[in-house]
Amino acid sequence: MGSLRDLKLAENALEGVLPGCIGSLGQLEILELQGNKLSSLPDQLQELIHLRTLNITGNHFRTLPMTVLTAIPLIELLASKNALNGSLFQDSVDQALHLQILDVSSNALTSICEADTMLMPALKTLNISNNRFASLPDISSWSELITLLVGENKISTLPDGFTMLQNLRSADFTGNDLTKLDERIALMEGLEIFTVAANPLRDRKFLTMNAEDIKRDLYSRLKPVVVKDTPGETVEAEDQELCDLPAPDDWVLKASGTLDLSSRDLSELDGDKLTTFTKMHEVRQLYLYQNSFDTMPAFLSIVSHLTVLDLSKNNIVKAITEPLRLPHLRELRLANNKLQSMDPLMACLIAPCLQHLDVTNNRIFGSLPVLREVFPDLLLLMASDNVITDIPAEALRGLKVANLSNNEIARLPPEIGLLAGTLTSFEVEGNTFRVPSYAILKKGTEAVLTWLRDKIPNPDQEAF
C-alpha cells in the first residue's frame, strides 16, 4: 500500500509491539492507534518521513522512542491516558523542531526532558494535565505557544520564560503548588485566560479571578522606575515595560544556569562584574531581554559556557562591531530590534554550534544571506516581519525551519522545491509574490515545495 496516507486502527485489540512493517507505508501522513493495548513503537517508524499526526491515546505505553519521533517531521503527537512515567524526552533529546500539538495528559510523567531547556519553536498547544510534574524547563523558546494546560500537577513556580511568551492566549495552572505569581504577568497583553484555582497562593483572591482582573491587580504592584531626565532632575517613568526593576546588584543564577537581567533599562554591562560572576557561577543562559542595548557586548566571550543569549526588544541597529567568540552558543534571540542587515553578525560572531537564530520584527532588507556558511549547524531561522526582498534557494539549504512571513519577497525560486525532506517548515505568507497562491500556502510546507519543484524542467535533478 505504497500510496496510503491515512491509517486508522483505533479501538481494536492490538497488543504489544506495533509491527516494524509499518515502516513500509512510505507516504503515510496520519496514523491513529488510540484505544488499543499497544506498549511499544518500532524504530522503523522513523522511515515514515511524511508522518504528521500520531494518535496513541489510551494504550499501555510506559515510554516513547522520542529519538525516533523527533527524527521525522511529526506535527501532532497525542499520547494521553497511557502509563508514561519519568521524563518524556529521554536519552538527552532536547529539541522537537516540528511539534505543534503535544498532548500527554493523564499519565505519570515527572518532567518534559532531562535537560534544563527544551527547544520546541513550533509548539502551539501543550497539554500535560494530570501528571506528576514538579517543574517545567525554560520555555522562553516556545515562541509560538498559544495554549498551555498544566493543571493537576505539583508545579510550585511558573517556568522560566513564561512571561516572555507573546503569543500565549490561555494558561491553566489549576491544582498545582503555586504560592505566588510573577508581577510581569500584568504585561502579557495577549493572555486572555489564566486559571490558578486550587493552588496554595498567598493571595487567595487570585483563585477566583479571571485573567484581566489578575493582570490588573498585578499591574498595580509593579514599582515605578525613577530614571534620569536631565542632570540633577528625575522623573517617574510611566512606561509599564520598564517597571519593577531589581536593584543593580541583584544578580541571581537560577538552577538552570540562567542569569536573567531582563527589563532593567540597561544600555551596557559591567564587564568586571560579569567576569567576577562567571568565575563563581557557570552561566549557560543570559537574558538581556527588553533593555536599551545598541549592540551585543563584545566581552560576552568571557561567558564561555553560554548556550542561550536573548537580546530581544532592545535598540540594536548593528548587531556586533568587533569579534565575539561563543563556542557553545546554540540559540541567539535578536527579535524586536532595529537590525538592518545580518552581515555584521556573520562577520564578527564566531558561534559554530548555533542552531536557532531569531531576528523577527527588525528592519533587515535585501537578499537573505547564506547563513550556514558561517553557522554550519543552523537549523532554525525566524526572520518574519522584516523587509527581505529575495531568498536564494542556497540560503535555505540545510535549514529545517524557516519563517520568512511578512517580508517583501517578490518571487520564490523553484529550486527551493528541491529542499523537500530537509526543509520541513517553510512559512512565507504575507509577502508580495502572487504565486504560489494563498490556497497552496495554507496547505503547508509540503504542498508549497511540491508546487515549486513542479516548476523545474527536470525535478529529479540533484539538489545543489
29-42 residue pLDDT tens = 999 999 999 999 99
Give the burial class of 391: count Cβ atoms within 10 A of its Cβ; 0-12 exposed, 13-18 middle, 19 or more buried: buried
The model's confidence at residue 458, banded by pLDDT at 50, 70 and 90, is: low
pLDDT for position 247: 35
81-95 residue pLDDT tens = 999 999 999 877 778
For residue 367, pLDDT beyond 80: yes
Q: Does pTM surpass 0.85? A: no
Q: Mean per-residue pLDDT for 61-81?
A: 92
Amino acid identity of residue 323, one-letter, is P
Average pLDDT in the chain: 87
Give the burial class of 229: count Cβ atoms within 10 A of its Cβ; 0-12 exposed, 13-18 middle, 19 or more buried: exposed
Range in 44-58, 181-195, 360-374 the model is least confident about: 181-195
Domains observed in the chain: 6-178+185-199 (3.80.10.10), 241-453 (3.80.10.10)
Are 347 and 324 in contact, with CB atoms under 8 Å apart?
A: no
The model's confidence at residue 439, banded by pLDDT at 50, 70 and 90, is: confident
Are 113 and 135 in contact, with CB atoms under 8 Å apart?
A: no
Measure the CA–CA gap between 444 and 427, rounded to whole angstroms.
8
Measure the CA–CA gap between 162 and 272, rounded to whole angstroms.
30
Task: Name which residue leads in pLDDT, 340 or 400.
Answer: 340
For residue 197, pLDDT beyond 70: yes
What's the 3-state SS for 189-225? CCCCEEECCCCCCCCHHHHHCCHHHHHHHHHCCCCCC
DSSP for 94-130, please give it: -B-SS--EEE--SSEEEEEESSSB-B-TT--EEE--S
244-280 residue pLDDT tens = 333 345 788 876 678 888 888 888 888 888 888 888 8
∠ CA(384), CA(189), CA(247), 5° rounding? 100
DSSP state of 387: E
pLDDT for position 461: 52
Q: Mean per-residue pLDDT for 207-236?
A: 65
Share of the chain above pLDDT 90, in %: 53
Are 131 and 105 in contact, with CB atoms under 8 Å apart?
A: yes
Q: Mean per-residue pLDDT for 395-402?
A: 91
Sequence-ordered list of residues with C-beta below 8 angstroms from that of 273, at least 6 positions apart, any chain: 251
For residue 127, pLDDT beyond 90: yes
Amino acid identity of residue 109, one-letter, is L
Intra-chain end-to-end CA distance of the chain, in Å? 32
DSSP state of 60: -
In the three-class reduction of DSSP (H, G, I as helix; E, B as strand; rest coil), residue 440 is classed as helix
Rg (CA), the chain: 23
- Where would I find the H helices in 257-402? 271-280, 343-348
**16, HSE (Cβ side, Cα atoms, 13 Å):** 3
CA nearest neighbour of 404 among 389, 437, 382, 374: 382
